[in-house]
Structure 1
Amino acid sequence: MTVQLSVNVNKVALVRNTRHLGIPSVTRAATLCLQAGAHGVTVHPRPDGRHIRPQDVFELAALMKQWPRAEFNIEGNPTQNLLDFIRALAGRDMRPQQATFVPDSESQFTSDHGWSLSRDAERLRPLIAECHALGVRVSLFMDPMPDQMAAARAVGADRVELYTEPYAAAWGTPDQAAQLQRYAAAAQAALDAGLGVNAGHDLNRDNLAAFVRAVPGLAEVSIGHAFIADALELGYAATTQAYLACIASGDKS
C-alpha cells in the first residue's frame, strides 16, 4: 500500500491568527492539498488556540465529508481538549478517521516526546476504548523504542506514530544510518505486535524518501511545518506533488 500523506495545516492557522482578516484560509489550504493528491488532513488544536481553533476543526470535518477517500486526523492530548472534539464531531456524524494521542503539556512549544506506557497506560486505556466506541482509530505518539510497541498494542492502540525529530536532526550526519536503523526496528516491532505504523515530526523533502525506503510497513506520514514552509515558495499543489514524489521515490527503491 502506498504511504499516505496527511498534511498538517496548523501553520496556516498560525499565520491567519496574526490578523483578523480570515486569511490565509485553513479550509482553502486543505482543499488545494487534497485536490493535488494529499491523502488526508491533520490538525492539532491546542487548548490555548495558538493556531487551529475549534471552528477550524468543525469546518475541516465538514470539508472532509466531500472527500470520502481522504482521512481526517486530529492530534492532541486526550486528557486536555482532544476527546471533547471527537465526541462533538461524532455527535454530528463528522467523526475523524483517526485520533493521534500526543503527551503534550498545555504550554508545550511543540511535540517533543512519546508516551511512557509504564506510567500512562492505565489512564489511556479507557480513552482509547471511548474512541473505538465512537468509531475512531487511535494512534499513539511514540518514541522509536521497539520494546514499547507491544505495550502500545496491549493498551488498545491501533497504530503508533513514530516521533521522527531525532532522525531529522541526524540527517546528513554520521548518526543518520544508526537513527534509520532505530526507526526500522521500532516499526518492525510495531508490525509484529499487530500495530499500524505512522510517522511524523520534521520530515521534509530532503529526508522523507530515505525514511520511506528504510522503515517497513509505513502507512502514513503527517507533515506540517516543512510542508507549509515549502508551500510559501512553491504553492500548495506543487508542494503536495513534491512530497508525493518523495514518497514514491522511497516506495520504489
Structure 2
Amino acid sequence: MSTRLSVNVNKVAVLRNSRGGRDPDVQAAALACLEAGAHGITVHPRPDRRHIVAEDLPPLATLAARFGVELNIEGNPFAPPRTGYPGLLALCEQVRPAQVTLVPDGDGQLTSDHGFVFDRDTTALSAQVAAFAALGCRVSLFVDPGVQDLDRAAAMGAHRVEIYTGPYAGAFADGREEAALEQCADTARRAQAAGLGVNAGHDLSQANLGRFLDVVPDVLEVSIGHALIGEALYDGFDATVRTYLAITAR
C-alpha cells in the first residue's frame, strides 16, 4: 500500500512572518510541492498567528481543489476565538478542508508534543468531533503511541488517528528505535482493529521515514513539514518532494 504525503507548509509562513510582507510566498511553496506530486497540503493555524494565519487558508483551499488533492487543517478545537483567529471550527466552516486533525496543544506550546487520551470523560471531545464531521470533514485525532481505549475514539465518530512520531524520531536519531517502532506499530494495529484509519506525523524525515513505514502497518498518510522544508533549502521543493514520494511508494 502506498502512503500519501501531505506537506506541512507552516515553516514557510514562519519565515515570512519573521520579516513581514509576503515573502517567501506560502502559496508558491505549496504550488511547488503539488507540482512535484505531493498528495496534499497540511497547515496548523495557531491563535497567536506565528505561522499560518487565517488569511492563508482560502487561497490554499483553492489551490488544493485545483489539483484535486486534500487540504488538512490541524488545530486545537478548544482554543477560544480572538482577534485574528476566529476559532478552528469557524476556519473549517469557511474552507471545508477534506480533513481536520484535532490536536490538544496549548497556546504557548512550541509545537504539538502530546495527543488526546480516551480513558476519561470524552463528552466535550465527542461534541467537537461531531461538529467537524457535520461540515463534511474527515476527523483525525492526534494521539501518542501507546494510547489506550482507541475503541472510544472510534465510538465518538472519529475517522482516523494521527500517531505522534516525535518519540520515534528521537529514538531513531539515538540508534535505539526498535521499542518506539513497535509501540507505534501496536498502536496502529489496535486503531485499525477499532475501525480507525492511521496517519502519522512529527519529526519524520528522509532518514527515518522508510524504516517507520516498513514496520508500522498500513499508514494511510504522513504529514511532514519541518524536515521537508529544511531539506528543500538545499535541494529544492521538487527534488525533496519526489524523494519523499519514492519513500512512501515502496
Alignment of 1:36-115 (within 5 A): 36-68=36-68, 70-80=69-79, 81-89=87-95, 95-115=96-116
Is the Cα contact below 8 Å between 2:16 and 2:22 reproduced in 1? yes
C-alpha distance in structure 1 between counterparts of 2:121 and 2:51, whole Å: 27
How far the C-alpha of 1:175 sits from its partner, in A, is 3.0
RMSD value, Cα: 1.2
- 2:82 is aligned to none
Normalising by structure 1, what TM-score? 0.93
* Matched letter for residue 88 of structure 2: L
C-alpha distance in structure 1 between counterparts of 2:121 and 2:98, whole Å: 23
Is the Cα contact below 8 Å between 1:146 and 1:187 reproduced in 2? no
Distance change in 2, residues 1:120/1:141 (3 Å): farther
C-alpha distance in structure 2 between counterparts of 1:174 and 1:25, whole Å: 37
Normalising by structure 2, what TM-score? 0.94
Deviations 1:79-118 (A, max 9, x none): 12211101222xxxxx110000000011111100001223
SS in structure 1 of the partner of residue 107 of structure 2: coil
Pair 1:201 & 2:207 matched = no
- 1:173 is aligned to 174
The range that moved more, 146-155 or 165-174, is 146-155
How far the C-alpha of 1:172 sits from its partner, in A, is 4.4
- 1:210 is aligned to 211
Deviations 1:119-163 (A, max 9, x none): 462111111111111110000000112533212112211000000
* Matched letter for residue 155 of structure 2: A
How far the C-alpha of 1:17 sits from its partner, in A, is 0.7
Deviations 1:187-206 (A, max 9, x none): 00011000000000000010
SS in structure 2 of the partner of residue 38 of structure 1: coil
* Matched letter for residue 117 of structure 1: F
SS in structure 2 of the partner of residue 51 of structure 1: coil
SS in structure 1 of the partner of residue 223 of structure 2: strand
Give unpaired runs (5+ residues) of structure 2.
Answer: 80-86
SS in structure 2 of the partner of residue 153 of structure 1: helix
Distance change in 2, residues 1:120/1:85 (3 Å): farther
Give unpaired runs (5+ residues) of structure 1.
Answer: 90-94
| Paired residue total | 243
- 1:244 is aligned to 245
C-alpha distance in structure 2 between counterparts of 1:14 and 1:148, whole Å: 36
Alignment of 1:118-157 (within 5 A): 118-119=119-120, 121-145=122-146, 147-157=148-158
Deviations 1:23-71 (A, max 9, x none): 1110110011011010000000000100001111111012112011x11
Is the Cα contact below 8 Å between 2:117 and 2:148 reproduced in 1? no
Distance change in 2, residues 1:175/1:85 (3 Å): same
C-alpha distance in structure 1 between counterparts of 2:145 and 2:64, whole Å: 31
Alignment of 1:7-18 (within 5 A): 7-18=7-18
C-alpha distance in structure 2 between counterparts of 1:196 and 1:36, whole Å: 26
C-alpha distance in structure 2 between counterparts of 1:211 and 1:148, whole Å: 23
